[in-house]
Amino acid sequence: MGILNRISTITRANINAILDQAEDPEKMLNQLIRDMRTSIDEARNEVAKMIADEKELEANYQHSQQLADDWQKKAELAVRKGSDDLAREALQRKVDYANNAKVYQGQWESQHQAVEKAKTDLHALQEKYDGTVRNREVLLARYRRAHAMEQVAKVGQQLNSFDPSSELSRMEERIRLEEARAQAAGELNSDTTEDRFAKLSQDSAVEDELALLKGRVSAPPQISAPKETTGQESTDEAEPAKGT
């Protein structure tokens, strides 16, 4: 009955629970299908042997019952013929075969019940196997979807625990520090002796330009000399006086 116990166990197995516990659900499911197929083949062979035993017990019962009936008839014949000794012998054998038939009948009925249960278990296993094969891709898709949702939830949890504002503030503070350092370095570099002499030269040139500008602005305006007149111009200017 070991195979039948395996049938009952596999039939009651929760495939979803198996997939949840598996490291690789696809391999686990394929192995489960192979195990179920092997169990079905083994169970079918055992059920076939049980059926054969049932038929043998049935045949033994019918044969014993038939012999008991035959010796009953022989006993009746001996009584009609007035042979009581033969009648007694026939009746004894009839009782023996009837007892055998009764034992075989009980064994046959018990075997019949066991065969019917085995058939039911085998049928249930076959349906479970067929359903698993049909739903294999669906089960794997459900697992992959659940696994993806779990990964998304983990990433979301990590993002929720991460505060980007603190990181941005830290980076901004670091940038300000670098800018201040660069400005300080620039001021130090510009305070060299060469830079001071260059600044003095630049200031001297500006002062010279300023002095020239002041000289041009404050200088008195120059008066131009009167133009020399020719004789013709004097004559022309005198003619109107004559007419007056």
pLDDT digits (tens, 9 = 90+) for 193-231: 666 666 666 666 767 777 777 777 776 666 555 555 555
pLDDT at 189: 60
169 and 125 within one domain: no
Please give the radius of gyration of the chain, using alpha carbons only, rounded to the nearest integer: 63
Which residues 6+ apart lie within 8 Å of 4 measured at CB? 43, 46, 117, 118, 121
C-alpha 127, offset from chain centre: 28
195 and 93 within one domain: no
Tokens of 95: 């009782």
Asked if residues 125 and 37 have their Cβ atoms less than 8 Å apart, the reply is no
CA-based nearest residue to 18, from 127, 140, 153, 120: 140
33 and 68 within one domain: yes
Burial of 128-163, coded b for 16+ CB within 10 Å and e otherwise, reads bbeebeeebeebeeebeeeeeeeeeeeeeeeeeeee
Domain residues for the domain of 175 are 165-212
23 and 139 within one domain: yes
208 and 103 within one domain: no
194 and 74 within one domain: no
pLDDT at 9: 55
Asked if residues 126 and 40 have their Cβ atoms less than 8 Å apart, the reply is yes
pLDDT at 54: 94
Tokens of 230: 């020719």
34 and 75 within one domain: yes
194 and 102 within one domain: no
Task: Show the low-confidence residues of the chain (pLDDT under 70).
Answer: 1-23, 147, 154-168, 185-204, 206, 219-244
C-alpha 165, offset from chain centre: 31
Burial of 198-221, coded b for 16+ CB within 10 Å and e otherwise, reads eeeeeeeeeeeeeeeeeeeeeeee
Burial class of 1 by CB neighbour count within 10 A (0 to 12, 13 to 18, 19+): exposed
Amino acid making up residue 105: Q
pLDDT at 144: 76
Domain boundary among 138, 161, 184: 161
